[in-house]
Structure 1
Amino acid sequence: MTETPGAAPDAFPGAPTGPRTGPRLRVLAAMSGGVDSAVAAARAVEAGHEVTGVHLALSANPQSFRTGARGCCTVEDSRDARRAADVIGIPFYVWDLAERFRAEVVDDFIDEYRAGRTPNPCLRCNEKIKFAALLDRALALGFDAVCTGHYATVRLTDDGRRELHRSHDQAKDQSYVLGVLDDRQLAHALFPLGDTGATKDEIRAEAERRGLAVARKPDSHDICFIADGDTQGFLARHLGSAEGDILDQDGTKLGTHQGAHGFTVGQRRGLRIGHPTADGKPRYVLDISPVENTVTVGPAEALDIAALTAIRPRWCGGTAPEGSGRYTAQLRAHGAETPVTTEVVDGELRVAFDAPVRGVAPGQAVVLYDGTRVVGSGTIAHTTAAR
C-alpha cells in the first residue's frame, strides 16, 4: 500500500487500535531496505513491541536512483524492505514523502550551495523527515515511537529526562547526524542497534541468523538523491554554469572556474590553476563567494580556525546551557572530537577551540558532546581564522 502525503490518519489500516497496556509500545519501524533497519525492526519485535514497518518513498522517480551500495531510495530498496518485513512477520506499508523530501532536503541542499555553504543533507533528513514528518504522522496514527537502524543510544535519567548518547560501537556511531533531535523527538525514538555492543559484522551475522536476505547487502554511501554520485554535476544541472575567477589571498587572479558551487572549503584537487606556488606547496580552497562568483585559494595553514559561530542551535534532551561551558565538538560525521569552550549569545552558539582546527566550512554542523552525551548542535555560519 502507498499512502500519499496529506491522507487522513484513519486512512492507514496499519494504525493501532484499542488501549495499550504495560511496557509494550506501538512502534513504527522505518525500513530503508538495508540490514541495519531490518535488524532494528526485528529486535523491536523481539522486545515485545507491536511493530509495523514502513518504507519512505522519497523520490518521485525512484527507478532513476542507482541500486546497490549508493543511495537508499531505489525500487530495489523498497522491495528489500518488504521482504524483510515478511520474514520478521510484521505489517508493511510504503509512505510517499517525495514532495516533502524534495522541499525540505533536496531544495535546501541546492539553496545552501547557491549561498556558498556546504550542507549535510543527512542531518536535514533526520530533522525534517524521519523525526518530524514521519514521527508526526506516526503519533497522529496512535504509535508511541519511531524505530530506526541508527547506531546511537537514548538513556533515561533519574529525573525522567532523555539523553542521546554515542553508540557502543564507536566505529559505526551515528549520533552526529542525530544531533538535531530535540527532547520531544528523543521521547519517541528507538535505536535498538545502539543499545548493545554489537559491531556491524555482528549485525550482519544476526541478520543472517534471522533469515534476512539483506544480511550481505552493501551499506549505502554518498548522497541518496544524487544517482551517480556526481555532486558537482548535480549542482551544475540545478544551478547552471557561470565562469568566475580563482584568486589568491592577495586578490591575484590564478585561473577561472565554471561555477563557485563546484568547490568546498578545504578542497585541494580539481582546482586546475595551472602553476604552483613559489614554495611549491599545494593550494586549498579558503573561501567561496557566490555573490562575486569567486573562489579564493591559499596554503593549508590558512584553513586553521580558532572559533566559529553557529546558528539555529538545537539542544538534545534539554534546554540551552547557561553561561560558558566546556565540551568536545565534532565537525564531521566521522571526525574526531576536539575540546572547546562554548557560550550562547543572542540565540547563537559561539564555539572557541582549545587548538586550531582545519577545513571547517559554513553550512556544516557542529555537534557538542559531554562525554558520550550529545548536548546539542548548530549550523556553522561564520568562522574566525586562527591568525
Structure 2
Amino acid sequence: MHFFTRACARQMAFGLRIGAPKPRLFEVPRNSPFKQVATSPKRYSSEAPLHHQLYEIPPSRLESKIHPLGWEVIQAQTEPWLDQHWEFASEKDKKGFFALGMSRAFSQFFPLTLDDRVEMTCKLHYLILLIDDQLEKMDLLEMLSYRNRVMQVARGQTKPDKEKAYEWMLFDTFQLMKSTDEALAKDLIEGFCALLQAQTTEDRMSVKHLGPYLEHREVDVGRTFGADLHLHPAELSQTAALESCAFRFMGVLNDIYSWDRESKVYQVHPTDGSRPFSSIYILSQETGLSYTACKRLMYAYCRELEIVLKQSSEDLRQENGGTLRPEMDKYTKGLEYLMSGIEQWSQWTPRYRQ
C-alpha cells in the first residue's frame, strides 16, 4: 500500500557508512507470475541506504527545503500523543514505527507548513501511515469495510468509537483542523478519502497498464491546509498540469523504493490489501523486462518529470506576466519541495531497507 502518496518517513540521523560494502541493491529477480512475486532472495544490506546501487542514479534538478522548526521540535509535538494512545501490536512494533522518523520526513515533505499547523498536519500523516499498514493485513471485504468506516469517521458522518484509537484520534485531528480552517480542512478530508479509495478500490486488482495506474496516484493530502494556501478556481486550473506531474513523480518514485518491501510483505502475508499495486510490476508485465530494469526505466521517467515540472512552472509564470501571486508561487514551490522530500526520505528510511 502507498502512503503518498504513501507516507511514512523517519529517523533522526541516518548517515552513510563510509567504507561499507555496497549491497547488490537492484539484483535481478526472476520475472515470474504475480503469485510468485518476491521469490528472489534478500537483496538489501541492512546497513546501507537504498541509493547505494549497482548503477548511478541521475542527479536531481529539484530544490529541497527543511522546515524551520526542525524535526526534533516536530517529533516532540506529535510522537508522545501516538505513543500514549495508538494500539500497537507489540512493543517491538512500536519501536520499529518510531524508528522510521516520520517527523524528519515531515520536515522535508512540508517545509512551508505554518508553525501553528505543524502538529495537527503531522499527526494526520502518522495516522495515514498507521492506517495504511492496517490495510495491508486485510482481505478485500475486510479492507472495504474498514475503509468505509474510516471515511465515515473522517467526514463526520458517524461518531467515533472511543474504544478504537484509530477512530477517535482521526476524528479529533480532523475536528481540530476544521476549527482552524474549515474550507481547507474539508478539502483535505476529501483528499484523504480519495487516497483511501485509490488504495482499496477493487479496480486496482485489474489495472494492467501504466496510464490508468498513474491516474490512481494523483492525490494530495495536507499540503494546502498546512501552508494556508487558498487558490482561486482559475489558479487551480492553471496548476493542474503541475500537480499531475508532481504526483506521478512521487507515486513512481515511491514504487521504485518500496517494491522490494511490498513484494516481501505479499509473500509473507498474501492478502488483498498487501497485493503490490506498482508501476514496477505493471511495466515488467508489459515489457517482459526484469524488475531491476523497470526500476532504472522509471527512475529515468522521474527525472524527465522534473524537467517537465521546471518548464511548466516557468510557462505558468510567463502566462501570468512574469510573476505569480505569492500564494500561487508558494503552491508551486511546495510541490517541488514535496517531490524532493519524498525522494530524500525514500533513500534513507528503514521502511524500504531490508
Instruction: Answer yes or no: same fold by TM over 0.5.
Output: no
Higher helix proportion, which one? 2
Structure with max Cα Rg: 1
Q: TM-score, normalised by structure 1?
A: 0.25
Q: TM-score, normalised by structure 2?
A: 0.26
**With CA pairs under 8 Å and 6+ residues apart, which has the higher RCO, 1 or 2?**
2
